[in-house]
Each structure stands twice: as structure tokens, then as C-alpha cells.
Structure 1
Amino acid sequence: MARSSTRRLTTYRRRKSESRTQRDTILIICVGETEKIYFNQFKLSLGKIKVKTIQNALSPLQLVERAIEEKNTGKYVQVWAVFDKDDYVDYDRAIALAEKNRVGTAYSNQAFEIWFILHFEKMTAPLHRNQYKQKLTNLLGKTYKKADESIIKLLLEKTDTAIQNARWGFELMKKNYGDRPPSNWESSTTVYQLVSELNRWK
């Protein structure tokens, strides 16, 4: 009888632990190694982060569809899709679909590195992603390389500035181009919204 009670208690604790883990985990889905390294730097005291990188390059819409599938499993307290506009034509549809299904989006027009630039200055004009590397090299005072963890750790010290600059730029775009879809809001990003949410869980 005692052995049976012990088994039931062990099973209960395991299920309770699994339930707690699911409720406290924020899933972030992305396609780039840079994004994966960046978000894995965040350490939360009130929950956990799971970053899932999709190996095969997906369009924004396909990535959001994958995020919706994950959300529907009920395993995570929040699910976010991180994607770039690049040259994809389904960027706006991806944003709309995510919003409809209550999936968070951290999207960048044109690419994720604009978030890094915003750690140093505001962005008010279009800048092609091919120019991001040189721009960041100038701002950093050293050659920018994708997925460089040492650079990412350096940028984390300026997170508050990046959030302020990104929010300012996004609100400006919304004010000036609110009648147009986000694909026209260059240069802008909503990565600050995800980072702000993660900061709430620290």
C-alpha cells in the first residue's frame, strides 16, 4: 500500500513539474543562428526560454504556420515567431495570420541586424540589408560577423537604448505610414516587443 502511494505521489509530482514547465516556457521560433544565439543569452527567473531554429529556410508565412502548430499543442505560455522581410512577398500575410492566432511576432524590415544597429542610433530611413554589415562594423569599431557571441554579449549592455530607439522608430512609422502594410515600414522592427516581454520575466 505504501509502495503504491509512493508511485502515485511520484507520478503526481512529475506531472505537476511538467505542467509547470509548460506554463512557464516561452517558445521562440526563428531561422537564423544569430537570432538563436542572441535570445539564448536571456536568463529568466520567472520562466524559461526555448529557442527553436528551423533548419530549412522558411518564408515568414511558413514560419508563422509552424509557430501556430506549436501554440496549439498547449505546451507553452507564449509562442513567438522571429522573421525578416528580406525579399519575401508573404511578409504582411504572415504578420496578419500571427495576430489572428495570437502568436507573437518579432519581425524586421529588412533584417534582424537592424535591431543591432538600434543599440547605437535611431533609424529613420530605408537601409538595404546588404549595408548592415558595414554599418555595424563602423558602429562597433570592429568587423561585424553573424552569429558572433562576443558581439552579441557586447550589445546586450545597450538593450535599453535599443528598446527606446526601436519603439520610437516603430511609432513614427505607424504615424507616417499607418495606412500601409508593414512591408512598407522600412527601416523598422518589433524585436523590441519580444525583448521587453522577456525582460518582464527576469
Structure 2
Amino acid sequence: MSKRIGKRPKHKRSLPLPGSYLIATEGIQTEVLYFRDLAEELEQKYAGLANRIEVTVPSLTVKGTGVSNLTLIERVAEVIQLSPTLFEHVWIVFDKDDIPLDKFDNAIKSAEQLGWHAAWSNDSFELWYLLHFEFLNAAIDREEYKMKLTQHMQTNGIQGKYEKNSARILQLFTPEKRQQAIRFAKKLAGYYQANIPYHQRNPGTAVYQLVAELTALGQRADTLRKNLKK
């Protein structure tokens, strides 16, 4: 792992920027599209609020890296070192993939040791998408995920097949569907005892933890706007 982790150039800020998030994803398509969509939603919710009241406006930096697991840890450390911003929250987003099992588990543990958070998925990020529509507690392969998501898209009036680089499915992720996905992911997490290795938690995903946190920030903005109207 890079020896530069934790070392920062002198020109950087001495304190993290409040409300700042670095969301570094393994993929450069699906995950990036999803979290940039959430970032735009938060930006709209907080637009103009800081001009009316004192409020910490969250800022999300979403970066697709194209590398996975422990290599992702190293790449994120480099991004942090080169960034002019000290991030208050660092999340890495990755799948299990077809790699040695210990690398998946070690990447999660390494992130936690660095004070970061791991929004992992086993086996695929598409599990998080699928939980918006149905509860799944049995392992399936990635082609089955695509087939199921295609069916849900077509049921909801979107023609064609699910593709990883398509943003069309994002329009189906309403606030209600998002809350359902969070509930289903929490329920799924409850199936596994704490001593079960992460690579054995299939299906399973911790993406809901990050999404729940961002959703709470959006709800906070909604509440502030309502209070201003009173």
C-alpha cells in the first residue's frame, strides 16, 4: 500500500471541509451515474439555503477509478493526497468480483482502519438496484440481475434492456423506492451474524448505509425549507 497515506501537502486546508464527501467507486459507469444523480439531487435541495440561514451545505465528489479492492484503497489515498480539499467523509464503493476472497474482506477492513467507509456489494452493485423493486435473499449471477432489472424497467414503461452504462433506470428510483431499498438491505444484513466473513454474505450490500446518510441530508434540507415558510 502507498506509504503516502495520511501525508498531505502543506498547501492543503488544516481541517476537513464540513459536509464534504469523497465517493470513490470501483466502476466508472453504473456507480458513478447513480451517485452523481444523488449529488445533483442534494445540490438542488440545498440551492439558495445558505443565503437565508446558516447551514452546512454538503458537497459530493464522485470519482470512478476503474480499479478494485486493495488497489482502490491505494488509488483513493492518492486522490486524497492530490486534492485541495480535505474530505470529512470518505466512502469507497466496490463489488466482490472474481478475486481471491481474502482481498475482498481485507479491502473492507483496510478502509475501516483508515477511518473510511466501505459501501461494498456481494456479488454485484446491481443488487442495490434490484432491492428498489424486490427483496432478494438468494445468490444469483450477474446475468440474472440484468434480466430482473430489465423486467422491472419494462414493467414500469421503460423499453429495452438494462445496461450498466444507462441512466434510464434512475428515474424509477423515487424517494419511496429508495426507502424500500434501504429497508430491504437492512433486512438482508440482519441475516448474517457479525462473525460471518464479508465474502460469504451473498447476497449482501452496505451501499444502503451511504445512501441512508445522503437521504437524511436531503430530508434535513426539506425540513429547513418548510421551517422557513412558517
For the superposition of Structure 1 and Structure 2, which TM-score range results when normalised by the shorter chain? 0.7 to 0.9
**Residue in structure 2 matching 1:67, options 57, 73, 76:** 76
SS at match of 2:162: coil
Q: If you compute each CA radius of gyration, which structure gives the higher value, 1 or 2?
A: 1
**Residue in structure 2 matching 1:48, options 48, 51, 59:** 59
Would you say the 8 A contact 2:121–2:207 is kept in 1?
yes
The percent identity for this pair of structures is 35
**Residue in structure 1 matching 2:95, options 70, 74, 84:** 84
Using the size of structure 2 for normalisation, the TM-score is: 0.72
Does 1:187 pair with 2:203? Answer: yes
Task: Sort the Cα spacing of 1:156 and 1:21 in 2 relative to 1 into closer, same or farther, 3 A.
Answer: farther
Equivalence for 1:123 = 136
SS at match of 2:109: helix
Equivalence for 2:3 = none
What is the CA RMSD across the aligned residues, in angstroms? 2.3
Structure 1 position 146, deviation (Å): 1.5
The code of the aligned residue for 2:125 comes to F
Q: Deviations over 1:95-134 (max 9, x none)?
A: 0101111111111001110000000111111111222110
Show the 5 A alignment for 1:125-140.
Answer: 125-140=138-153
SS at match of 1:146: coil
Does 1:109 pair with 2:117? Answer: no
Q: Would you tell me which structure has more helix in proportion to its own residues?
A: 1
How many angstroms apart in 2 are the aligned matches of 1:151 and 1:28?
A: 21
**Residue in structure 2 matching 1:31, options 26, 31, 34:** 26
Unpaired segments of 5 or more residues in structure 2?
1-10, 47-56, 219-230
Would you say the 8 A contact 2:97–2:124 is kept in 1?
yes
SS at match of 1:120: coil
